[in-house]
Amino acid sequence: CQPNEWNIQGYDDASWPLLVNITGLVFEKLNETPVGLYSLTAQKHLDTSIPDVGTALVKRIYNLNLAFPHGTETTASIELVTKIEDYQVKAVLQPSLRGNDKAFVYYQHQYSTPQELGKYFDLGKILRARVDPFCDAQRVHCQSVISAISE
């Protein structure tokens, strides 16, 4: 818990039900705590068949002909933010610090609160309804990203 921010973290996809239940209980007890935004976020280091993910990403960017400078020891991070339905999706792809052949994927759905700021709403109930679609979307995203950069 930090000023204006509360996080809970798990280490694999199997953690989601427990994380959602704990979050629901915490915010049920702290119902006077104002919530302006909430999000579900996955951060993964994924194995690839690519010997150097950083170089592969740089080549993809250079192929877009966006006039980026060509130099030595170049790496890349790609970030996209888009609105889908009633939430914002942020997706980031970059080389992992865990090895040249690994990709780091950050995937987030960020939601506005369904009530006026400062009014109570059942965050646990809302998260329980959103977690399965989020998990499916991040799983598909991770598979699609690895497939795309492997081409």
pLDDT at 115 over 90: no
Q: H-helix or E-strand containing 92?
A: strand 87-95
Gap between the Cα atoms of 122 and 24, Å rounded = 7
| Structure confidence at residue 116 (pLDDT) | 65
Q: What is the residue type of 112?
A: S
Predicted TM-score (pTM) of this structure: 0.87
Quickly tell me which residue has 């979307």 as its tokens. Answer: 137
Percentage, residues of the chain above pLDDT 90: 60
Could you tell me whether strands 37-47 and 78-84 are parallel, antiparallel, or unpaired per DSSP bridges?
Answer: unpaired
Q: H-helix or E-strand containing 108?
A: strand 102-112
pLDDT at 103 over 90: yes
pLDDT at 108 over 90: yes
User: Tokens standing for 102?
Assistant: 């690994």
Of the candidates 117, 108, 57, the residue with the CA atom closest to the CA atom of residue 87: 108
Instruction: Write the pLDDT tens digit of every residue in 4-47.
Output: 777 888 888 899 999 999 988 888 887 767 777 889 999 999 99
Of the candidates 107, 104, 52, the residue with the CA atom closest to the CA atom of residue 77: 104
